[in-house]
Amino acid sequence: MYPQNVIVVGAGPVGCTVALLLADRGIPVTVIERYPQPHPLPRAVHLDDEVARILHRVGVSDAFLAGSRPASGLRLLDARHRVMAEFGRDTDATDNGFPGANMFHQPDLEALLFDRVDRHPLVDVHRGVEVHAIDGARVPLTAAPVRVHTRAVADEAARTFTGSLVLGCDGANSTVRRLIGISMRDLRFNCATVRTRRTSSPPSAGCSNPGPAGPTSPGWRSPAARSTPSGPDSLPASRSGEPSCSATRPT
């Protein structure tokens, strides 16, 4: 028999939220975070109504709303302050019960989540240890426990954690993803919005994916649809006549 706890790697917003969702349902959670202290700077600045609803589920939405600001949308400007693209959002509550777009300070949100995580009797937090190896993650869940090996980054000693399963919540450059062999499909850089304004050239091979936020999205409002080509928002074609975007494949 092995412990029936879930091991969560990473104490960012995703790791803390999933730890609370599980623990609130009676499932013990071990959270492993490599940094001894929360990151002091924001990365995310915006979240939508669906995420706010999840924050409500883990009990921090009132404090979140008190410190966030509904946003009426997004407008992208070029270097000369001409509009390249924009979309609007309703600042009133949507069907999810929260404004569609919310500007926030990530360290404040993380402090709210940490506070609940640290006080939850079913969440065991280990900071200052970095996951570098995992055993048992590639076999069926019922076949074996998962063993997560860590090395010390700060005060806590290197050790092995054992649980029923592991959740990789360790961010964009996930170690867990690499260790258990999860692959990613490159959807390529979405430059359809920029190309719409700058050129009528057909998509180049490197920019062929319009992506989910492209001109056919419901919230999308192409500049061509709201102003004439000679209007104040219009942009000239790039000098070469080529799309002024670049697509890079992550290494």
Ligand X SMILES: Cc1cc2nc3c(=O)[nH]c(=O)nc-3n(C[C@H](O)[C@H](O)[C@H](O)COP(=O)(O)OP(=O)(O)OC[C@H]3O[C@@H](n4cnc5c(N)ncnc54)[C@H](O)[C@@H]3O)c2cc1C
Q: Is 34 helix (H, G, I), strand (E, B) or coil?
A: coil
- Site string (47-86) toward ligand X, x via CB under 6 A: x---------------------------------------
3-state helix, strand, coil in the chain (%, to 5): 25, 25, 55
Count the site residues for ligand X by CB under 6 A: 22
Q: Tell me the CA distances in angstroms from 72 to 45, 62, 88, 92, 195, one per residue in order.
A: 14, 20, 6, 9, 24
Question: Residue 7: CB partners within 8 Å, gap ≥ 6?
Answer: 29, 30, 32, 146, 148, 161, 163, 165, 166, 167
> What residues does 75 pair with on adjacent strands?
86
114 binds ligand X (CB under 6 A): no
Distance CA 14, CA 12 (A): 5
Residue nearer to ligand X on the CB measure, 175 or 199:
175
> Can you tell me which of 22, 131, 167, 245 binds ligand X, judged by CB under 6 A?
131
15 binds ligand X (CB under 6 A): yes
Question: Residue 13: CB partners within 8 Å, gap ≥ 6?
Answer: 44, 106, 109, 110, 113
137 binds ligand X (CB under 6 A): no
Among the residue ranges 38-46, 115-123, 207-215, 227-235, the one whose residues contact ligand X (CB under 6 A): 38-46
Among the residue ranges 9-17, 66-74, 159-167, 243-251, the one whose residues contact ligand X (CB under 6 A): 9-17
Distance CA 20, CA 110 (A): 13
Min dist. Cβ of residue 111 to ligand X (A) = 13
Residue nearer to ligand X on the CB measure, 12 or 136:
12
> Can you tell me which of 98, 101, 116, 130 binds ligand X, judged by CB under 6 A?
130
Distance CA 129, CA 161 (A): 11
Question: Strands across the sheet with 69-70, in order?
Answer: 46-48, 101-103, 69-70
Distance CA 146, CA 238 (A): 54
99 binds ligand X (CB under 6 A): no
Min dist. Cβ of residue 175 to ligand X (A) = 4
Min dist. Cβ of residue 42 to ligand X (A) = 8
Chain residues 161-180 in contact with ligand X, contact rule CB under 6 A: 169-171, 175
> Can you tell me which of 2, 3, 36, 44 binds ligand X, judged by CB under 6 A?
44
> Can you tell me which of 18, 23, 32, 71 binds ligand X, judged by CB under 6 A?
32
- Which stretches of the chain bind ligand X, using CB under 6 A? 9-15, 32-35, 43-47, 130-131, 169-171, 175
